[in-house]
């Protein structure tokens, strides 16, 4: 298939969608599925099938995440030339009502007596089902499930990576093409040299979204300049931070975007083989990426002579076995090679000697997903979003004590206050905001007095936290910080690979000290010891996991010292003060 | 094709110059700071580093200060650069290392008074040098397995510091890859596949893991409880098992060999040995060991070397179980034995021609000896009837 043929497929799909009277989008991401979206989707499918008449064409699209995970399952109904309506907490009964409200059943063939709607997910008795749908039309309980699209949760977001998420069927390449998919790849292959691509990415200011924030353009250029017969691209989908699910969602909702970014990267650095390293706990993401690879291969987008050009690229999936440390690039490389995932000393960096000693680019899923948009819209467009040093947007998994939790994409430089109070809808109940924890077990806690800090790489690092991969946990004042720090410390104790001493033994000792403090047996000098031990682990550990493991303790020690002090004086006081 | 002129490329040796502890040091590009320091007799504390193995960087003990670097950096994985200035000893580094050893002994028992490895244990050495009497942290043993499932070495996990030297030597030098890290965090330990017995793994029992182990986690069975390091007499010798000629060192107490090990200055084998060299030394003190040539008693009687005659039994000697060698053989000196063999060989060749004899060489001889042997047969005797035991 060449560029024109690709265009034709996209246009055809666009025309088909334009002809439809309406479309119902049902979120089938992991979060909504666990809330029962599977049944909702089947019900929608059945109801639409039954209510369809010849001149009335509707389809049900199963999409990836729409963002508002706390209100799942989420369904969006779009009628032709009308504003879309979004419904939250949908169950099969409400699904019937949604269909009958937007796409009413013309006539009931048979009157039925029962007031109970037919909730069987596979209706054998179609007339009965139609009647039930007709009855549902009259009901109004659906109104309280309507979510306003004017809510700050949506209006404050800027969606670049997530622009198609929740709007396309992740299992259909045609749908992605209809939304401008693979245009970036086509542009790169047709009009740009690898060097130009690297420059474009560099000028866009895109920085690694895995947490460290290394400029991607520089990384790509390193690999491009290496002279080697074989180079690799690896997409890091081993998202291990507790509470973070940005990469999972992107892979589930828009797998082709990740593939496209990966291929643009491969073209830029001169690689012809790539691996998507996905953690085994994400079966749906693995399945959808695999489907995407198959579809892309079938359409000639992936494989030998991509779209009729001289560029060839093959992609493969590698599944992680549940080690947190495999998110570290050298450990990940070992894992892809089939070895035990343990980090190694750097340099040499993977850009010089990576997978099987070949120069390798490793980028996070979100970083790769940014690439197609940058190429399509240009570096300047992207650089206009965000702050001076942190460009573009960042996807966060917003969790914790908030009214709205879910997946959000915000421009860099937005303040924490906007995220917490506008997008997140504030703290529920009569509780107060206490701290925001960014970056998972590698990050730190940011107290209320820094709520107006812009969220970008530099500002967060200055506060002793990190941008991290995008986990953002909001804590209210019912949480005691030493307990909170202990949770993350225990996570690091369990996930330490055992290779280097400070991380393996140091984290255990920090955890023991925290235990001692929390149980009320701590002495004032234990606090100094805790601080010293944290500093030591931070400066002497081998990889990023160990170096950042003490961050939750250090940052809570810095901002919530009084809680630790009270523990040392009298544990009962702090308990009483908080609860 | 004729070469009209010699096309050797004049290769200029490139050297990097760096300063380590004020001493100017020259080294080849690609070498690490650790290598450069050790080559110049600058000792940097180290536990996971081993010169014959790849770099791990796990123990963090070899940290040094590099001018312009914010944090202390491990020297084992640090590539030398021209003009680098490095400090391997100062108060700050001493404290960092002290804290690291403090953490090591938080999970390593300090029962050195009864430990076989005392005296050659690296951790003990560094704990002494950094004045660590006991850990300042909460002591807890994460690994307590004691595995004596094979006759060669004991794996006592409580002493293991997870330096990974054994894993690397097994993978990189031996090629068996019988052991690797297993488990995460506190449960991390060195294991065979599925923690099965050693004999069910790919282990060839060469014991090179025992050789490189810095602590008492791996110890030869033969030495357990038999003597402290400083009581042992050491004899350097060449292994007699094959023509390679590995250098090894026996550690003896009261004339009894306790264990064999290789020494780093062995020109052929360095610190590595095979199963036979390392564990197959019990023949040395065996009462049945032959220490001189033996001549068959009837031949010796004919030559007047013994007063007792003996006749070859009709039954094949192979069928006699445990023959007493003293009945049928007489010890003689080398000259007698070699003269007799030479005479008999010459007689046979004269009477029946050179092709009536054949020579069989031994793999225990060196290449040079084997070469001379075939020379003797091909030129001296004039036969091609020649073979080598390694071909059988």
CATH of the domain at A488: 1.20.1440.230
Which CATH number is A90's domain given? 3.40.30.10
Q: What is the pLDDT of residue B322?
A: 72
Q: What is the pLDDT of residue A346?
A: 86
Q: Which residue of B has its CA nearest to A512?
A: B138
pLDDT band at residue A579, thresholds of 50, 70 and 90? Answer: very low
Q: What is the pLDDT of residue B312?
A: 78
Q: Which residue of B has its CA nearest to A535?
A: B96
Between CA A485 and CA A490 the distance in angstroms is 9
A273 and A369 co-located in one domain: yes
B186 with A500: Cβ contact below 8 A: no
Chain B interface includes A342 (CB < 8 A): yes
Closest by CA to A363, choosing from A457, A266, A282, is A266
pLDDT band at residue B1, thresholds of 50, 70 and 90? Answer: very low
Q: How much of chain A is in helix, strand and coil states, percent to nearest 5?
A: 50, 15, 35
pLDDT band at residue B357, thresholds of 50, 70 and 90? Answer: very high
pLDDT band at residue A104, thresholds of 50, 70 and 90? Answer: confident
A496 and A544 co-located in one domain: yes
Q: What is the pLDDT of residue B115?
A: 94
Min Cα separation A276/chain B (Å) = 24
A235 and A363 co-located in one domain: yes
Residue A7 falls within a domain, yes or no?
no
Chain B interface includes A505 (CB < 8 A): yes
A501 and A553 co-located in one domain: yes
pLDDT at A99 over 80: yes
Which CATH number is A214's domain given? 3.40.50.11540
A132 and A187 co-located in one domain: no
Selected residues 548-577 of chain A with any CB under 8 Å from a CB in chain B:
none
Give the mutation candidate from B185, B186, B215 for the A interface (greatest A CB count, under 10 A): B185
User: pLDDT per residue over A82-91, tens digit each?
Assistant: 888 899 999 8
Find the DSSP H helices in B204-333: 208-212, 275-279, 297-302, 325-328
Q: What percent of chain A has pLDDT over 70?
A: 93
User: pLDDT per residue over A219-260, tens digit each?
Assistant: 999 999 999 999 999 999 999 888 899 999 999 999 999 999
pLDDT band at residue B273, thresholds of 50, 70 and 90? Answer: very high
Chain A interface includes B386 (CB < 8 A): no
Chain B interface includes A8 (CB < 8 A): no
Q: What is the pLDDT of residue A282?
A: 94
A240 and A365 co-located in one domain: yes
Cα→Cα distances A486→A483, A491, A492, Å: 5, 8, 10
A346 and A403 co-located in one domain: no
Residue A166 falls within a domain, yes or no?
no
pLDDT at B343 over 70: yes
Tokens describing residue B291: 């220490």
Q: What percent of chain B has pLDDT over 70?
A: 96
Between CA A421 and CA A109 the distance in angstroms is 50
Give mean pLDDT, residues A134-148.
78
A76 and A30 co-located in one domain: yes
Between CA A132 and CA A4 the distance in angstroms is 47
Domain region containing A549: 484-578
**B257 pairs with which residues across the strands?**
B252
A49 and A81 co-located in one domain: yes
Q: Which residue of B has its CA nearest to A545?
A: B185
Please tell me which residue, B392 or A92, carries the higher pLDDT value: A92
Q: What is the pLDDT of residue B392?
A: 56
Q: Of A442, A476, A510, which residue is a domain's last?
A: A476
Of A340, A344, A540, the CB nearest to B180: A340
A206 and A344 co-located in one domain: yes
Q: Which residues make Cβ contacts (< 8 Å) with residue B341, sequence separation at least 6? A: none
Closest by CA to A418, choosing from A169, A177, A158, is A158
Residue A496 falls within a domain, yes or no?
yes
pLDDT at B130 over 90: yes
Chain A residues with CB under 8 Å of B63 CB are: 540
Residue carrying structure tokens 């409880």:
B225
Chain B residues with CB under 8 Å of A508 CB are: 140, 142, 185-186
B184 with A495: Cβ contact below 8 A: yes
Residue A153 falls within a domain, yes or no?
no
Residue A455 falls within a domain, yes or no?
yes
Q: Which residue of B has its CA nearest to A323?
A: B184
Give, as one character, the DSSP assignment of residue B171.
I
Measure CA A94 to chain center. Answer: 28
Q: What is the dihedral of CA B19, B20, B22, B27, to 10 degrees?
A: -50
Cα→Cα distances A519→A480, A512, A569, A579, Å: 13, 10, 12, 16
Closest by CA to A3, choosing from A311, A464, A352, is A311
Chain B interface includes A43 (CB < 8 A): no
pLDDT at A449 over 80: yes
User: pLDDT per residue over B137-182, tens digit each?
Assistant: 999 999 999 999 999 999 999 999 999 999 999 999 999 999 999 9
Between CA A555 and CA A482 the distance in angstroms is 11
Burial level of B121, CB count in 10 A (0-12/13-18/19+)? buried
Q: What percent of chain A has pLDDT over 90?
A: 66
| 3-class state of residue A481 by DSSP | helix
Chain B interface includes A321 (CB < 8 A): no
Q: Which residues make Cβ contacts (< 8 Å) with residue A273, sequence separation at least 6? A: A230, A232, A233, A313, A314, A315, A316
Give, as one character, the DSSP assignment of residue A506.
I
Residue A173 falls within a domain, yes or no?
no
Q: How many C-beta neighbours within 10 Å does residue B285 have?
A: 11
Cα→Cα distances B336→A156, A224, B342, Å: 105, 76, 10
Task: Give how many domains chain A has, as a whole number.
Answer: 4
Q: Structural domains in chain B? A: 16-89 (3.10.20.740), 105-230 (3.30.70.20), 232-287 (2.20.25.90)
Tokens describing residue B6: 């010699």
User: Average pLDDT, whole number, for chain A?
Assistant: 89
Q: What is the pLDDT of residue A123?
A: 58
Q: Of A123, A147, A171, which residue is a domain's last?
A: A147
Whether the predicted model's global pTM rises above the 0.80 cut:
yes
Give mean pLDDT, residues A24-53.
87
Give mean pLDDT, residues A132-154.
80
Q: Of A381, A416, A434, which residue is a domain's last?
A: A381
Give the lowest-confidence range in A57-61, A101-105, A322-326, A400-404.
A101-105
Burial level of A143, CB count in 10 A (0-12/13-18/19+)? exposed
Cα→Cα distances B198→A114, B172, B208, Å: 72, 19, 14
Give the lowest-confidence range in A257-261, A321-325, A373-377.
A321-325
Give mean pLDDT, residues B289-298.
91
User: pLDDT per residue over A180-202, tens digit each?
Assistant: 999 999 999 999 999 999 999 99
Give, as one character, the DSSP assignment of residue A349.
P
Of B55, B100, B184, the CB nearest to A498: B184
Contact A28, A62 (CB under 8 A): yes
Residue A428 falls within a domain, yes or no?
yes
Of A504, A512, A542, the CB nearest to B138: A512
Chain A residues with CB under 8 Å of B57 CB are: 344-345, 500, 542
Min Cα separation B284/chain A (Å) = 41
* Ramachandran category for residue B164: left, alpha or beta (phi over 0 → left; psi -120 to 50 → alpha): left
pLDDT band at residue A385, thresholds of 50, 70 and 90? Answer: very high
Q: Which residue of A has its CA nearest to B106?
A: A505
Min Cα separation A488/chain B (Å) = 14
Residue carrying structure tokens 């622009």:
A163
Chain B interface includes A352 (CB < 8 A): no
Chain A residues with CB under 8 Å of B188 CB are: 496-498, 504
pLDDT band at residue A106, thresholds of 50, 70 and 90? Answer: low
pLDDT at A115 over 90: no
**A61 pairs with which residues across the strands?**
A25
B60 with A495: Cβ contact below 8 A: no
Q: How many C-beta neighbours within 10 Å does residue B4 have?
A: 5
B58 with A501: Cβ contact below 8 A: yes
Contact A482, A310 (CB under 8 A): no
Cβ density class A363-397: b for 16+ within 10 Å, e for less = bbbbbbbbbbbbbbeebeebbebbbeebbbbbbbb
Chain B interface includes A322 (CB < 8 A): no
Give, as one character, the DSSP assignment of residue B14.
P
A111 and A205 co-located in one domain: no
pLDDT at A500 over 50: yes
B164 with A499: Cβ contact below 8 A: yes
Give the lowest-confidence range in B2-6, B57-61, B72-76.
B2-6
Give mean pLDDT, residues B340-345.
94
Min Cα separation B63/chain A (Å) = 8
Between CA A132 and CA A116 the distance in angstroms is 8
Residue A159 falls within a domain, yes or no?
no
Between CA A273 and CA A266 the distance in angstroms is 8
| 3-class state of residue A470 by DSSP | coil
Chain B residues with CB under 8 Å of A512 CB are: 137-138, 140
Bridging pattern class, strands B63-66 and B85-87: antiparallel
A498 with B63: Cβ contact below 8 A: no
A400 and A425 co-located in one domain: yes
Count contacts between A and B (CB, < 8 Å). Answer: 93
pLDDT at B338 over 90: yes
Between CA A541 and CA A551 the distance in angstroms is 13
Of B77, B103, B106, the CB nearest to A345: B77
């Amino acid at each position: 298939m060449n560029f024109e043929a690709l265009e034709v497929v996209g246009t055809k799909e666009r025309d088909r969608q334009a002809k439809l009277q309406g479309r119902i989008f049902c979120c089938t991401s992991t979060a909504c599925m666990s809330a029962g979206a599977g049944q909702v989707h089947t019900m929608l499918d059945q109801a639409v099938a039954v209510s369809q008449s010849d001149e009335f064409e509707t389809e049900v699209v199963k999409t990836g995440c729409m963002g508002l995970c706390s209100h799942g399952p989420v369904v969006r109904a779009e009628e032709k030339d009308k504003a879309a309506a979004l419904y939250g907490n949908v169950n099969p009964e409400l699904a019937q009502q949604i269909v009958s409200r937007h796409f009413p059943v013309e006539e009931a063939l048979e009157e039925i007596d029962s007031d109970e709607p037919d909730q069987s997910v596979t209706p054998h008795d179609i007339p009965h089902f139609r009647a039930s749908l007709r009855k549902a039309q009259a009901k109004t309980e659906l109104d309280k499930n309507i979510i306003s699209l004017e809510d700050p949760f949506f209006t404050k977001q800027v969606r670049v990576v997530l622009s198609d998420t929740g709007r396309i069927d992740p299992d259909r390449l045609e749908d992605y093409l209809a939304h401008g998919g693979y245009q970036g790849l086509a542009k790169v292959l047709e009009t740009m040299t690898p060097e130009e691509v690297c420059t474009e990415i560099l000028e866009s200011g895109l920085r690694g979204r895995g947490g460290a924030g290394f400029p991607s353009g520089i990384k790509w250029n390193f690999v491009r300049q290496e002279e080697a017969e074989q180079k690799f691209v690896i997409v890091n989908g081993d998202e291990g931070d507790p509470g973070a699910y940005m990469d999972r969602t992107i892979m589930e909702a828009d797998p082709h975007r990740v593939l496209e970014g990966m291929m643009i990267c491969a073209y830029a650095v001169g690689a012809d083989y790539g691996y998507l390293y996905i953690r085994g706990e994400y079966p749906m993401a693995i399945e959808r990426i695999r489907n995407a690879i198959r579809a892309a291969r079938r359409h000639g987008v992936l494989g030998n002579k991509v779209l009729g050009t001289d560029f060839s690229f093959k992609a493969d999936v590698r599944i992680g076995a549940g080690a947190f440390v495999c998110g570290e690039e050298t450990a990940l490389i070992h894992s892809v090679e089939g070895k035990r995932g343990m980090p190694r000393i750097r340099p040499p960096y993977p850009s010089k000697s990576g997978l099987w000693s070949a120069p390798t680019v490793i980028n996070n899923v979100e970083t790769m997903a940014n690439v197609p948009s940058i190429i399509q819209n240009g570096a300047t467009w992207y650089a206009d979003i965000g702050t001076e040093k942190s460009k573009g947007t960042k996807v966060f998994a917003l969790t914790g004590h908030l009214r709205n939790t879910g997946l959000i994409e915000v421009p860099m430089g937005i303040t924490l206050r906007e995220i917490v109070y506008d997008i997140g809808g504030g703290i529920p109940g009569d509780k107060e905001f206490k701290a925001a924890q960014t970056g998972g077990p590698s990050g730190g806690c940011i107290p209320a007095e820094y709520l107006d800090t812009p969220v970008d790489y530099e500002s967060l690092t200055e506060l002793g936290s990190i941008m991290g991969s995008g986990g953002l946990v909001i804590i209210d004042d019912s949480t005691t910080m030493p307990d909170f720090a202990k949770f993350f410390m225990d996570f690091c104790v369990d996930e330490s690979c055992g290779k280097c001493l400070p991380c393996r033994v140091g984290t255990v000792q920090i955890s023991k000290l925290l235990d001692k403090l929390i149980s009320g047996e701590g002495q004032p000098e234990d606090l100094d010891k805790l601080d010293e031990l944290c500093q030591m682990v931070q400066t002497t550990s081998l990889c990023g996991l160990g170096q950042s493991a003490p961050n939750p303790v250090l940052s809570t020690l810095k901002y919530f010292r009084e809680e630790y002090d009270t523990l040392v004086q009298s544990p009962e006081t702090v308990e009483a003060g908080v609860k | 094709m004729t070469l009209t002129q010699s096309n050797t490329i004049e290769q200029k040796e490139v050297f990097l110059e760096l300063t380590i502890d004020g001493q100017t040091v020259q080294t080849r590009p690609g070498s690490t700071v650790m290598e450069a320091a050790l080559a110049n007799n600058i000792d940097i504390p180290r536990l996971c580093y081993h010169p014959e193995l790849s770099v791990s960087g796990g123990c963090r003990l070899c940290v040094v200060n590099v001018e312009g670097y914010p944090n202390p950096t491990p020297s084992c994985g640090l590539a030398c650069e021209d003009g680098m200035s490095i400090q391997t000893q100062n108060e700050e580094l001493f404290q960092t290392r002290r804290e690291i050893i403090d953490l090591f002994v938080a999970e390593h028992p300090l029962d050195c008074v009864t430990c076989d490895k005392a005296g050659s244990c690296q951790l003990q050495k560094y704990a002494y040098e950094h004045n660590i009497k006991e850990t300042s942290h909460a002591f807890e043993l994460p690994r307590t397995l004691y595995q004596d499932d094979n006759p060669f070495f004991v794996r006592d996990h409580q002493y293991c510091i997870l330096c990974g030297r054994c894993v690397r030597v097994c993978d990189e030098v031996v090629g068996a890859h019988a052991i690797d890290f297993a488990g995460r965090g506190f449960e991390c330990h060195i294991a065979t596949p599925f923690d099965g017995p050693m004999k069910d793994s790919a282990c060839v029992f060469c014991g090179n893991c025992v050789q490189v182990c810095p602590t008492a986690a791996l110890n030869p069975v033969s030495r357990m409880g038999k003597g402290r390091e400083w009581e042992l007499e050491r004899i350097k010798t060449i292994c007699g098992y094959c023509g390679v000629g590995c250098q090894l060192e026996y550690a003896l107490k009261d004339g009894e060999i306790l264990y064999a090990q290789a020494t780093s200055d062995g020109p052929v084998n360095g610190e590595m040995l095979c199963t036979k060299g390392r564990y197959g030394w019990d023949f040395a003190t065996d009462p049945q060991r032959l220490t001189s040539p033996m001549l068959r008693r009837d031949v010796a009687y004919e030559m007047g070397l013994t007063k007792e005659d003996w006749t070859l039994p009709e039954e094949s000697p192979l069928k006699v179980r445990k023959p007493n060698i003293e009945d049928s053989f007489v010890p003689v000196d080398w000259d007698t034995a070699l003269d007799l063999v030479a005479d008999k060989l010459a007689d046979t060749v004269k009477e029946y021609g050179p092709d009536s004899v054949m020579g069989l060489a031994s793999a225990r001889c060196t290449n040079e000896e084997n070469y001379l042997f075939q020379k003797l047969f091909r030129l001296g005797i004039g036969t091609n009837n020649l073979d080598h035991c390694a071909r059988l």
